[in-house]
Amino acid sequence: MSYLQEQLLRLVGNGNVKFTQSLHPRVENILGLRVPDVRALARRIAADPDWNTYLNELEHTYMEERMLHGMILGYVKHLPLEVRLQKLRDFVSLINSWSVCDTVCPTLKFVERNKEEVWHFLVSYFHAADEYAVRFAVVMALDYYVEEAYLNRLFTMLDEIAHEGYYVKMAVAWLLSVCFVKYPQQTERYLAANRLDAFTQNKALQKIRESYRVSTADKERLKRYKR
């Protein structure tokens, strides 16, 4: 048993394994840990000079080990960008659930200092064969690239996604709902003419219409784009 696996197992008593399992159908080996507990451990390890040794010893038996792996890569300081991206590439292949993806992405704050370089890193993942690799690209876009300078590129990437996975489609719908709140006119033009499948299009409209930050008039008008 690795040191980090041992540390994670010590946190089991604070979690809720049955509830966490209910949120992750078909995902095996779940400890049910509280995300703040995993984050606290990740910060502590990232501050340790031997963080990379601990990372290399991870066995990835449990879902939360994968989550911890990604969080450490986000929290560690003074890592050259090319090294961090290579380690991130290795991590993406380990993602096995929506929660590993969605909790790690907002931890990767280094993106804010390296927008263009990371965008080019992400592009290939929009076309990946693995469901969670595509979701990773979409959620990263949601967390860091919903801004005017990237909107057109974002919409182009969404049109090029061919993956049929449920967690991909739901991430795209979520992203479009955020885009609409921030850039309603540009996003509505995209919703009026795109290559999305009917499920994703309609889920995006549903999420937008459920938002408290969208006006009643906008919600009514968007109905015309339902497929």
Q: CA end-to-end span of the chain, whole Å?
A: 52
Give the tens place of pLDDT for each residue, 57-108: 999 999 999 999 999 999 999 999 999 999 999 999 999 999 999 999 999 9
How sure is the predictor about 1, in pLDDT bands with cuts at 50, 70 and 90?
confident
Model confidence, pTM: 0.96
Give the tens place of pLDDT for each residue, 134-187: 999 999 999 999 999 999 999 999 999 999 999 999 999 999 999 999 999 999
Average pLDDT for residues 209-222, to the nearest whole number?
95
Rounded CA-CA distance 135/95 in Å is 10
Nearest alpha-carbon partner for 167 in 111, 104, 102: 102
Report whether pLDDT(29) > 90: yes
- Whether 125 and 91 have beta carbons less than 8 Å apart is answered as no
Give the tens place of pLDDT for each residue, 113-139: 999 999 999 999 999 999 999 999 999
pLDDT, the chain, mean = 97
pLDDT at 68: 98
Rounded CA-CA distance 125/62 in Å is 24
- Whether 9 and 65 have beta carbons less than 8 Å apart is answered as no
